Amino acid sequence: MPSNKSVSDAPIVQFTNCRILRDHQLQREDLWVREGKILNPEKLFFDEKGSADVQLDCKDSIIAPGFIDVQINGGFGVDFSLATDDFKSGIDLVSQKILSHGVTSFCPTLVTSPPSVYHQVLPQISVRNGGAHGAGVLGAHLEGPFISKEKKGAHPEHCLRTFEAGAFQDLLATYGSLDCVQIVTLAPEMRRSSEVIQELTKRGICVSLGHSVANLSQAEEAVQHGATFITHLFNAMLPFHHRDPGIVGLLTSDKIPAGRRVFYGMISDGIHTNPAALRIAHRAHPKGLVLVTDAIAGMGLAPGRHTLGQQVVEIDGLNTYIAGTKTLSGSVATMDTCVRHFQEATGCSVETALEAASLHPAQLLGIEHKKGTLNYDSDADFLMLNDSLYVQATYIAGEEVWRQDVSGM
């Protein structure tokens, strides 16, 4: 009986003829997987005297960690900010469809909504692992309603809220529960926001700054209280000014607590952010850049009218506007498109582009020990891509969950 069975009866799969993204570099190595985890081949050979049960030729593909989308409002006709009786089937549909974009984990995002919507929707979101059924759910991202009226963007003004005397209790009453919440976006210039940031951070919830008119010192104070993320940098915040760079100034601030990193989301769709702005941000703070789609229900659908929470939006090509206005309202770009556009716009390396959609979001959420890398013992959530960064196959826990159909090509 082969000795590799001494540890586990599960089959060992060896992916050969590939370039693996590991330690920030594409390395010509094989990838070994067992029971949904990435194996250390040295331990397998020398400790277990084991070998592969199955070998798969990757035909010189790039193997990269699965993408993690921490801001996605919906897609394929599903709007996460609409309370429906079959909300779970909507989550299921989106999680299935985004596998083809290389997304293996995501945070369903709700835009500013009435309390009744949060109370109805949040109990229907549960953290779960990915698999053949679709990408894993990491927890909800609540974008609003504690944001600035001046920078509300596509958020409905009548649903915006401020923090009253019992600030954190007010937030709890609005959302109903924080059980499945992973990220909260708020405006740090609001009175009593510091105590809210501290309370959320204490509970392991990531606080993001966005839809805000905060100056730099207000933003720095928020970071000192625990905020770690900026929601879609440049969008829905004060423009950069040399005397007070506002939230954007966090990218080069010298007031960030030692050992802490501020991350920032960017919608790299060629519309929300000019390529020059994308280059400025990336060159100022490359290790903090997190690619997000900010995708809305219209992603994957034909142009026309769709919803974003309480609002009607119009899609025209890759542009999405609140109906009858020129206010941008989320995107219809897919994550793999954002990765390719980011690489093209900045001229960065393939490794850097891929890590902005995998390693960095995992670090932001504090899950880099199991997601966002191909390190030994991490979850075997990975992609096969060609040299142009088009996804050829998606794997979750070492199982193929999507593959590009090449029969019609």
Measured between alpha carbons, how far is residue 315 from residues 157, 234, 294, 308, 404 in Å? Answer: 21, 22, 14, 11, 27
Q: Is 24 annotated as a binding residue?
A: no
Q: Is 143 annotated as a binding residue?
A: yes
Contact 210, 147 (CB under 8 A): yes
Q: Known catalytic residue: 30?
A: no
Q: Is 154 annotated as a binding residue?
A: yes
Q: Is 330 annotated as a binding residue?
A: yes
Q: Is 272 annotated as a binding residue?
A: yes
Contact 291, 102 (CB under 8 A): no
Total residue count of the chain as it appears in this document: 409
Give me the residue label for tokens 């050979």. 45
Task: Give the residue ranges of DSSP H helices in 104-208.
Answer: 115-121, 167-175, 193-202
Which residue type, as a one-letter code, is found at position 237?
Answer: M
Pairing label, strands 67-72, 229-230: unpaired
Q: Is 235 annotated as a binding residue?
A: yes
| Rounded Cα gap, residues 118 and 242, in angstroms | 39
Work out the burial of residue 407: count CB atoms within 10 Å of its CB; fewer than 13 is exposed, 13-18 middle, 19 or more buried.
exposed
Q: Is 329 annotated as a binding residue?
A: yes
Q: Is 225 annotated as a binding residue?
A: no
Helix, strand, or coil here: 172?
A: helix
Q: Is 300 annotated as a binding residue?
A: no
Measured between alpha carbons, how far is residue 244 from residues 209, 219, 250, 266 in Å? Answer: 17, 11, 11, 21
| Rounded Cα gap, residues 342 and 350, in angstroms | 10
Catalytic residue among 269, 294, 336, 381: 294
Q: Of 174, 180, 177, whose CA–CA distance to 107 is shortest?
A: 180
Task: Supply 253's token pair.
Answer: 């601030």
- H or E stretch covering 342: helix 335-346
Residues 6+ apart with CB under 8 A from 315: 298, 301, 303, 304, 305, 306, 332
Cite the annotated binding site by residue number.
143, 154, 211, 232, 235-236, 243, 272, 328-330
Cite the annotated binding site for Zn(2+) by residue number.
143, 211, 232
Cite the annotated binding site for substrate by residue number.
154, 235-236, 243, 272, 328-330
Q: Which residues are catalytic?
A: 294
